Amino acid sequence: MDVKSAANMQQQLDMKNASFTTSFDYGDKATVSYTYYSLRHLPYTVLMDISITAKKDISINAASVMEAPDALKEVQNYYNEIDRPHVVISLLTSTAKSPTGKLLMCASNTFLFSEKHGEEPRVIHEMWDNNMHLMKFVKKIKAGETYRFSIAGSSITSAHHDDPLNEAERATIFAKLEGRDRLLQFHKNAWEDLWKSDIIIEGDAQTQQDIHSMMYHLYSFTREGTALSPSPMGLSGLGYNGHVFWDTELWMYPALLVLHPGLAKSLVEYRYQRLDAAKRNAFSKGFKGAMFPWESAEKGVEETPVWALSGPFEHHITACVGIAAWNYYCVSQDKNWLREKGWPILSATADFWASRVERNGPGKYDINNVVAADEWAENVDNNAFTNAAAKANLVYATEAAKVLGITPDADWMNVANNIPVLKMDNGVTKEHAAYNGEGIKQADVNLLSYPLKEITDPKQMRKDLEYYETRVPNEGTPAMTQAVFTTLYARLGDPDKAFHWFQDAYVPNLNPPFRVIAETKGGTNPYFSTGAGGILQSVLMGFGGLEITAKGITQIKASLPKQWKSLTLTGVGIEKRTFIVK
Chain centroid to CA 454? 26
Does residue 231 sit in helix, strand or coil? coil
Long-range contacts made by residues 271-278, C-beta under 8 angstroms, separation at least 24? 271/229, 271/321, 271/324, 271/325, 271/345, 272/227, 272/325, 272/341, 272/344, 272/345, 273/227, 273/300, 274/299, 274/300, 275/300, 275/344, 275/345, 275/348, 276/300, 277/301, 278/318, 278/321, 278/348
Distances (CA, A) of 58 to 25, 120, 142, 151: 14, 17, 6, 21
Q: What is the DSSP letter of 401?
A: H
- C-alpha 103/C-alpha 460 separation (Å) is 52
Q: What is the DSSP letter of 324?
A: H
Task: Work out the burial of residue 542: count CB atoms within 10 Å of its CB; fewer than 13 is exposed, 13-18 middle, 19 or more buried.
Answer: buried
> Contact, 499 vs 563, CB < 8 A?
yes
Question: Which residues are CB-contacts of 259 (< 8 A; sequence separation ≥ 6)?
Answer: 197, 215, 540, 571, 572
φ, ψ dihedrals at 32, nearest 5°: -120, 140
- 120, 295, 469, 519: the catalytic one is 519
Q: What is the DSSP letter of 304?
A: S
Which string of DSSP letters, residue by residue, matches 108-136?
EEEEEESSPTTTSPPPEEEEEETTEEEEE
Q: Is 519 designated active site?
A: yes
Could you count the other beta carbons within 10 Å of the beta carbon of residue 394?
A: 30
- 224, 375, 378, 399: the catalytic one is 375
Task: Work out the burial of residue 302: count CB atoms within 10 Å of its CB; fewer than 13 is exposed, 13-18 middle, 19 or more buried.
Answer: buried
- C-alpha 542/C-alpha 494 separation (Å) is 11
- C-alpha 579/C-alpha 536 separation (Å) is 15
The answer to whether the bond into 513 is cis (omega within 30° of 0) is: yes
> Contact, 80 vs 93, CB < 8 A?
yes
Number of H helices, E strands in the chain: 17, 20
Question: Which residues are CB-contacts of 162 (< 8 A; sequence separation ≥ 6)?
Answer: none
So which residues are the catalytic ones?
Answer: 375, 519
